[in-house]
Amino acid sequence: MTLVLASSSPFRRMLLENAGLTFESRTADIDERQIEASEKHTGPEVVAGILARAKAQDVSRYFPDALVIGSDQTMSLGDRVYHKAKSRAEARDNLLSLSDRTHRLNSAVAIVKNGTVVWEHVAYAELTVRELTEGYVERYLDRIGDKAFSSVGGYQLEGEGIHLFSAIQGDYFTILGLPMLPLLEELRRLGAIDG
């Protein structure tokens, strides 16, 4: 059975490759911000699920009978939903707003076949940022450079971003944006991988 990843994320590709899966990949052609805006009264965990389904359904058009995996992640602190920073000033402000607080990563995954959702799941991780000073944040941004714009929180937990945290609850795969354990379990159940 053909597996397709509906994503351009190198992290998601790496997770599937490291798990030994054979798959194709294609980037979904959807307007995430437009979909999110139309769901502005919906919680961030629901939005993550809607985006994961939309990506998989879009790519499913090009791969008849394949199992298409879509995934998305939202980051929230209370009612505030964060997006990737577009400038250093925005990255700095985002990081300072997380200082000494706990935010949530909502990682959704969906499997679609012939345009129909056959399975979906949302996993959560809660991350507590230690108290940060403006000086430390500036030095951190100097060190990581453009990497600050490649993740929604301005950090990569697998890199120097680990220094920002005092506590983490949730699994590593959820934090990277693809809940691997439930996904692999479902792929085995569907007979798509050896189980």
pLDDT, the chain, mean: 93
Q: pTM of this prediction?
A: 0.89
Q: Are 67 and 6 in contact (CB under 8 A)?
A: no
First to last CA, the chain: 14
Tell me which residue range forms the domain holding 123: 3-189
What percent of the chain stands above pLDDT 70?
100
Domain annotation covers residue 126? yes
Per residue in 58-81, pLDDT (tens digit) is 999 999 999 999 999 999 998 788
Q: Which CATH number is 166's domain given?
A: 3.90.950.10
Per residue in 117-149, pLDDT (tens digit) is 999 999 999 999 999 999 999 999 999 999 999
- Count the domains in the chain: 1
Tokens of 165: 């945290």
Q: Which of 66, 79, 85, 65 is nearest to 25 (CA)?
A: 66
Domain annotation covers residue 195? no
Tokens of 173: 């795969």
The catalytic site residues sit at: 72
| 152-160 own/partner pairs: CB under 8 Å, 24+ apart | 152/73, 152/74, 152/75, 152/82, 152/83, 152/84, 153/75, 153/82, 153/94, 153/95, 153/98, 153/103, 153/105, 153/127, 154/85, 154/91, 154/94, 154/95, 155/95, 157/127
Domain annotation covers residue 194? no
Neighbours of 169 (CB within 10 A): 11
Question: How far apart, in whole angstroms, are the C-alpha atoms of residue 49 and residue 86?
Answer: 24
Give φ, ψ of 70 to 5 degrees. Answer: -115, 145
Per residue in 153-184, pLDDT (tens digit) is 888 888 899 999 999 999 999 998 899 999 99
Question: What's the length of the chain?
Answer: 195
